[in-house]
Amino acid sequence: MGTSKPERYQNRIELLQGTLDMLILQTLRWGTQHGYGISQAIRSGSGEVLQVETGSLYPALHRLEKQGWVKSEWKQSENNQRAKYYSLTAAGRKHLTTAQARWNQMSAAIAGLMAPGKSEA
């Protein structure tokens, strides 16, 4: 069963949802971007560590748009192609701040737990 593609996609979406949303919103902070651009930005921004599955990216983008955190418009790209550009809304900006705060808190807590020897100190 594990070899089948459909289920793998859906699992990924669920596992990564919160984090992926945050990463997308963070990427859009620097300006409007299209789907392909976002995936490339996350990849290069993370030093090629984070690969965004397109199977997760597009559902996430459409979900964020429905929630009102991003908005989209069709524009000409640098290569003179029509592409759908996403940009942050005010609500999205606000959401990003809280998500980021929570993320910082969590990663600090995890880092604290994982730091060797610290628990004995």
Partner 1 sequence: MGIWKRFFGRRRDEDLDEEIGGHLRMAARERIERGEDPRQADRNARRQFGNELLIREVTRDMWGWAALDRLAQDLRYAFRQIARSPGFATVAVLTLALGLGATTAMFSIVNGVLLQPLKFRDSSRLFVVENVPPAGSTLTRHLPVNARHFHEWRTHCRSCEEVSLFQGADLTLVGAGEPVRLPALQVSFNFFRTLGVQPAIGRDFVVEEEGNFDKVILTDALWHSRFAGDRSIVGRTIQIAGEAHTVVGIMPPGLHLPSGEQWGAFVGPPAEPLIFRPLMFAPVRQDPSGSLNYSSVIRLRPGVRPEPATAELNALLADFVRQYQIETRIALTPLQRQVTRSERGPLLLLLGVVGAVLLIVCVNVGNLMLVRTASRYREAGVRMALGASRARLFGLVLLEALMLSAIGGVAGLGLAHAGLKLFLAEAPVAVPRLEEIGMDWRVLAFAALATAFSTILCGLFPAWRLARIEPQESLKAGSVTATEGGRKLRLREVLVSLEVALSTVLLIVSGLLILSFVRLMHVDKGFEVAQVITQDVSFLNPKYARGVRRGFLEEMVAKLARIPGVQAVGAVSQLPLQGDEWVSGLRDPDRPLRPGESATANFRFVTPDYRRAMGIPLKQGRFLEDSDQNRPIAVVSQRAARSLWPNQNPIGKHVRGAGPSKPSLEVVGVVGEVRGRLEQDPPMMVYEHFWRMQPIAMSFVLRTQAGPAPVAAAVRSLLSSADPEMAISRSRTMEQIVEESLASRKFETYLAVAFAAAALVLASLGIYGVISFAVARRTPEMGIRIALGAPGSQLMAMVVRQGMAPVVLGLAAGLAGAVVVSRLIRSQLYEVAPNDPLTMACVSILLPGVALCACWIPARRATRIDPLKALRFE
Return residues touching partner 1 (CB under 8 A). Answer: 1, 4-7, 9-10, 13, 34-37, 40, 53-55, 58-59, 62-63, 66, 77, 79, 81-84
SS3 of 52, please? Answer: coil
> In whole angstroms, how far apart are CA 65 and each of 17, 71, 72, 94?
14, 6, 8, 15
| Torsional class of 31: left (φ above 0), alpha (ψ -120 to 50), beta (otherwise) | left
Nearer to partner 1, 2 or 117 (CB): 2
3-state secondary structure of 73: strand
- Select 13 or 22, whichever has its Cβ closest to partner 1: 13
Between 39 and 115, name the residue whose CB sits nearer to partner 1: 39
Q: Please, what is the minimum distance in Å from the beta carbon of residue 6 to partner 1?
A: 5
What whole-number distance in Å separates Cα of residue 8 and Cα of residue 91?
Answer: 31
Q: How far is the CB of 2 from partner 1 (least distance, A)?
A: 11
Q: How far is the CB of 82 from partner 1 (least distance, A)?
A: 7
